[in-house]
Chain A
Amino acid sequence: MTTEVLRTENLSRSFGGVQAVAGVSLTLHAGAVTALVGPNGAGKTTTFNLITGNLRADSGTAAIRGKPIMGLKPWQVARLGVARSFQDLRLFTHMTVRENVLAATETASWFWQPGGSTARRAREARADAALEATGLSALARARAIDLAYAERKFLSMARILAAEADIWLLDEPASGLDLASRTRFGQLLKDAQARGVAICLIEHNLDVVVELSNRIAFLDQGKVLAEGDPDAILKDPALAAIYFGDRPQEAA
């Protein structure tokens, strides 16, 4: 059994009368990919936001390697080794590609970073390695705003790579990618997985889910309806009906 790195228990959050997340319990393991699957509005991104501190949970707990993270700010959670991507990417659009990635290696908020020139060179090497791994080296001096869509996606991944986090929360990272780009993206994830990174993936492309994930948690209306082996979950006709919008009518 691989090491447990992140655990949530009964995470809940409502917005007004809408229960967006209702008692979600998840466990992420080092070197494993867990996919969060479910229809739109199932509470997948909200679950990410609760883990990363972007939203406060109404109830429930979350811990990284046993350390409680509820109430921490997003930057504090990030410094515990959690990196996330966003559906809308949120690149630093007016910075160059290399600056985007360098920024991911610089977490100190003081006027300068600790460690002097040795640490600076190490950060630059990390950034350059991340650019190399994502195939963006040739675009290092281009501004993020000028990149094509797939390149932007890979820049988002390069920032995560450079951050050297060991828990990745990826929100629809493969959406809109062509087959070749998807293959490159899949290889990035497999390499990270081999290094022991725990990955949680929100993805609507079920081919990607089947290819990359070891485990699926199926969410609907804020609840985990099922969790387990990808084949078993995706072949469940009741879950398929929910996913494709053919929801059974509730009894009156």
Chain B
Amino acid sequence: MIAYAANLATIVAIFAILAATLNFIVGYAGIFSVAHAVFFGLGAYAGAQVALLLIPDPLLACLAGAVVAGGLSLCLALPALRVRGEYFVAASMGLQMMAVTLFSEAKPLTGGIGGLVNIPRPTLFGVEVSVLPLALVALALILLATALLQRGAFGRTLQALRDAESAAEALGKNVAAAKTLAMAFACAGAGIGGALFALHLSFVNVESFTMDQSVLVMAMVIIGGTGTLWGPLVGAIILLSLPSGLAFIPFIPPTEVGAVQQIVYGLAMTLLMIFRPAGLVGDLSKGRATA
């Protein structure tokens, strides 16, 4: 039972990293990407390769994941500089679909459909460590960085772009640079989450980095509350605890848990959009000054 809870907590922490970093571009900069799982995947493959080919050092794996995902965030930044709104959603969807194909085909790097297996357990200074404390520390650092950036000038720049891009530009803000930086930060964070995910499972394949995963992370952000610090964390806890919770309800047959879960998700999203459109945490922080 403890192992089960620790596994769930680790997965929640990793997905909270994903949700928090996606929220950074969705909630603050208004860039609605449905390709966050791509950068999660890039980080996972990079971290896994470091562990497989070099040493299973989680810090090095996280660094590799952040650098690869943050660097390749330009693939997302380029369309974001040219199109906005629903056009960008479509562009990011295209990137997501292309990436899944590439992940499936680039066997030397990703292991193809079968993925990368037997990723060694993470060790720090020769001692095997659990991923849970690492994921919690990474999550705390990302939330801290997000809070600092969001309350400062960079956060105001992103919110200005979200609310009125042309006015922000007319005040001397370099929109391209700010968007590129925001995406590099968010995608590097997703890459760290990916590296930790690979080390935690000792196995990664393309199934974890599909559009479904991107939509799930987006749902965490929306349900928790876009543009809030704690909303994505709340969203990740709820959406990942729900399936586990349903499994413990005795009158739901194990074979039907998946279907019930989908019904509950759909119902929860609909009710939320009607009664708390700003998300579970959203209303609480509405109107608070952040200067």
Contacts and interface: CB of A to CB of B under 8 A. Distances in A.
A171 B164 CA distance: 16
B174 A143 contact: no
Interface stretch (A32-40, A98-106, A209-217, A234-242): A98-106
A92 B159 contact: yes
B108 interface: no
Contacts of A109: 157, 173-175, 177-178, 181
Contacts of B170: 52, 54, 74-75, 78, 83-84, 86
For chain A, the bracket of interface size reads 35 or more
B74 interface: no
B169 A92 contact: no
Contact of B169 (A78, A96, A98): A78
A74 B166 contact: yes
A86 B181 CA distance: 27
Given A90-B164, A92-B163, A111-B154, A99 B171 contact: no
Contact of B171 (A94, A96, A111, A163): A163
B156 A78 contact: no
Contacts of B152: 112
A29 interface: no
Interface in B73-109: none
Contact of A103 (B156, B166, B177): B156
A108 interface: yes
Interface residues of B, number: 29
B3 to A, nearest CB: 40
A22 to B, nearest CB: 24
A99 B167 contact: no
B226 to A, nearest CB: 11
Contacts of A159: 167, 171
Given A75-B172, A163-B172, A92 B160 contact: yes
B168 interface: yes
A35 to B, nearest CB: 20
A92 B3 CA distance: 48
Contacts, number: 102
A54 B160 CA distance: 17
A198 to B, nearest CB: 16
A91 interface: yes
A93 interface: yes
B289 interface: yes
B233 to A, nearest CB: 21
Given A74-B166, A96-B289, A109-B181, A79 B156 contact: no
B153 interface: yes
B291 A98 contact: yes
Contacts of A113: 153
B149 interface: yes
Nearest to B180: A109
Contacts of B227: 94
A74 B169 contact: yes
A110 B181 CA distance: 8
Nearest to A86: B167
